[in-house]
Amino acid sequence: MTSKIRMATIHTPKCWQCGKTGELQISSDIYFAGIKKLDEDALIQDAFPTLSSDQREQLLTGIHPECWKKMFPPEQIELNENGVPVDWDKHPNNV
């Protein structure tokens, strides 16, 4: 006999970017075990190792993955033929 996995719908906090709340579907066992670890001062990545970083971020802060990408878009750096960023002296990491 196989046991049925019980899922929990977790309502996440309001997102800082869009102002909407969200939901995550997580196994009840994983959710309650993770909450217990958080209560024992574990880091979220240790409390919920099977969740993706996007899921952990939404669970903790409410920020949706697509909103995170809007807030922190990946840098677009133009490289020259040697793999060195063009305008390196103006690059923010080189100040």
Instruction: Evaluate the CA torsion angle 43, 45, 46, 51 in order and state its sign.
Output: positive
Checking phi first, is residue 45 left (phi over 0); if not, alpha (psi -120 to 50) or beta?
alpha
pTM over 0.85: no
Q: Which domain holds residue 72?
A: 7-94
Task: Answer yes or no: is 81 within a domain.
Answer: yes
Read off the pLDDT of residues 25-72 as tens digits, 9 standing for 90 and up: 999 999 999 999 999 999 999 999 999 999 999 999 999 999 988 888
Task: Answer yes or no: is 80 within a domain.
Answer: yes
Task: Answer yes or no: is 29 within a domain.
Answer: yes
The total domain count for the chain is 1
Banded model confidence at residue 87, pLDDT cuts 50, 70, 90: low
User: Cα torsion at 92, 61, 8, 26 (round to 10°)?
Assistant: 20
The pair of three-digit structure tokens given for residue 21, joined into one six-digit string: 């709340």
Task: Answer yes or no: is 1 within a domain.
Answer: no
Task: Answer yes or no: is 2 within a domain.
Answer: no
